[in-house]
Amino acid sequence: MKLSARNILKGKVKQIKVGAVNTEVTLKLASGVEVVSIITKESAENLGLAKGKEAYAVIKASSVMIAVD
């Protein structure tokens, strides 16, 4: 995976809160810091996000996106 964003934080999915349209994803980083992102429900499903799965918080400008390998 190659991205133009310079801030990529690897973590594990701690919590997923599914709503009607959006999903709130909490990643726990190795340092213990938690990063929370709201993405579309469809994106969460397409990424196959699940509790305990490794994922990345990709930060560019004011957006936080979730990525997986």
Q: How confident is the model at residue 63, as a pLDDT?
A: 66
Distances (CA, A) of 17 to 22, 33, 55, 60, 62: 9, 18, 16, 23, 22
13-64 pLDDT, tens digit per residue, is 999 999 999 999 999 999 999 999 999 999 999 999 999 999 999 887 766 6
Q: Given a cut of 90, is residue 7 above it in pLDDT?
A: no
Q: How far is CA 16 from CA 4, 9, 23, 37, in A?
A: 26, 18, 7, 10
pTM, two decimals, is 0.82
In the chain, the domains with their CATH numbers are 7-67 (2.40.50.100)
The proportion of the chain whose per-residue pLDDT surpasses 70, expressed as a percent, equals: 94
